[in-house]
Structure 1
Amino acid sequence: MSNSTNQKYSQSFEKLGFIPRSIIRTINRFNQQVTQKSTELLIYEFKISRYQTIASLKCFLTFLIIPLIFHFLLNLSISNFVLQKKLINEEKLSWEFQLNSYYLETENFDEEYFFNTLLIEDFYERGHLRINSRRLDFLKQLRINQLFIIQNKCCNICSDCLTFIFLILLIRFSIPQIIILKSFFLEFLYNLSDTTKSFFLIFITDLLVGFHSSQAWELVLLLIFNRFGFLIQHDILLLIISIFPVILDTIFKYWIFRFLNKISPSTVATYQNMLE
Structure 2
Amino acid sequence: MKYWNLKKINQLAFEKTGIIPRSMSKLFDRFKQELNPNAEVEALEEFKVAKYQTSTSVKYLIILLIVPILMNQMSKTFILNPVVNYFWNKNSSYIFMNHSQEERAFADLQRYEEKLHFEILIGKINEMSVKTVEKKMSEKALEIALEYSKESADAIKNIIADLLSVIIFISILVINKRQFSILKSFINESIYGLSDTAKAFLIILFTDIFVGFHSPHGWEIVIEAILRHLGLPESRDFIFIFISTFPVILDTIFKYWIFRYLNKISPSAVATYHNMNE
TM over 0.5: yes
Gaps in structure 1 of 5+ consecutive residues: 1-25
Distance 2:207 2:127 in 1: 65
- What residue number does 1:66 align with? 67
- Aligned residue number for residue 247 of structure 2: 245
Report the Cα offset of residue 145 of structure 1: 2.1
Residues 258, 129 of structure 1: alpha-carbon distance in 2 compared, 3 angstrom cutoff: same
User: Among the aligned pairs, what percent are the same residue?
Assistant: 34
Q: CA RMSD in A?
A: 3.0
1:191, distance to aligned residue in structure 2 (A): 2.2
From the superposition, tell whether residues 171 and 116 of structure 1 become closer, same or farther in structure 2 (CA, over 3 Å): same
**Residue 57 of structure 2 contacts residue 183 of structure 2 at CA under 8 Å; is this kept in 1?**
yes
Deviates more, 1:49-58 or 1:93-102: 93-102
Partner of 2:26: none
For residue 105 of structure 1, report the CA deviation from its aligned partner.
3.6
Superposed displacement of residue 103, structure 1: 3.9
- 2:218 paired residue number: 216
Q: Pairwise mapping of residues 182-201 of structure 1 onto structure 2 (< 5 A)?
A: 182-201=184-203
Structure 1 pair 191–242 and aligned structure 2 pair: CA distance change class (3 A): same
Aligned equivalents of 1:31 and 1:256: distance in 2?
36
Flag structure 2 segments of 5+ consecutive residues without an equivalent.
1-30
Match of 1:268 among 260, 267, 270: 270
Q: What corresponds to 1:47 in structure 2?
A: 48
1:98 aligns with 2:101: yes
How far has the Cα of 1:242 moved from its partner?
A: 2.0
Aligned length, in residue pairs: 245
Deviates more, 1:192-201 or 1:114-123: 114-123
CA distance in 1 between partners of 2:127 and 2:106 (Å):
29
User: Counterpart in 2 of 1:143?
Assistant: 145
Residue of structure 2 equivalent to 1:22: none
8 A Cα contact 1:156 1:228, kept in partner:
yes
TM-score normalised by length of structure 1: 0.76
Asked which structure has the greater RCO (Cα within 8 Å, sep 6+), the reply is 2
The 5-angstrom pairing of residues 72-221 of structure 1 reads 72-76=73-77, 77-86=79-88, 89-96=91-98, 97-109=100-112, 113=116, 127-221=129-223
Report the alpha carbon displacement of residue 122 of structure 1 after superposing the two structures with TM. Answer: 8.7
Alignment-mate amino acid for residue 102 of structure 1: A
SS at match of 2:93: helix
For 2:76, give the aligned amino acid.
Answer: N
Question: What is the DSSP-based 3-state SS (H/G/I as helix, E as strand, rest coil) of the residue aligned with 1:91?
Answer: coil
Q: 1:188-221 deviations in whole A, cap 9, x for unaligned?
A: 2232221211111111111111111112111111
What amino acid maps onto 2:222 in structure 1?
A: V
Q: Give distance in 1, aligned partners of 2:32 and 2:267.
A: 32
Q: Is the 8 A contact 2:88 2:153 kept in 1?
A: no
For 1:14-36, what per-residue CA distance to the aligned partner results, in whole angstroms no more than 9, with x for missing partners?
xxxxxxxxxxxx7995451xxxx
Letter in 2 for 1:213: S
Three-state SS of the structure 2 residue aligned to 1:256 is helix
Match of 1:16 in 2: none
- Amino acid across the alignment from 1:191: G
Does the CA contact (< 8 Å) of 2:76 and 2:157 recur in 1? Answer: yes
Q: 1:98 to 1:274 in 2, by over 3 A?
A: closer
Partners of 1:89 and 1:147 within 8 A in 2: no
Report the structure number with the largest CA radius of gyration: 1
CA distance in 1, matches of 2:92, 2:198: 57
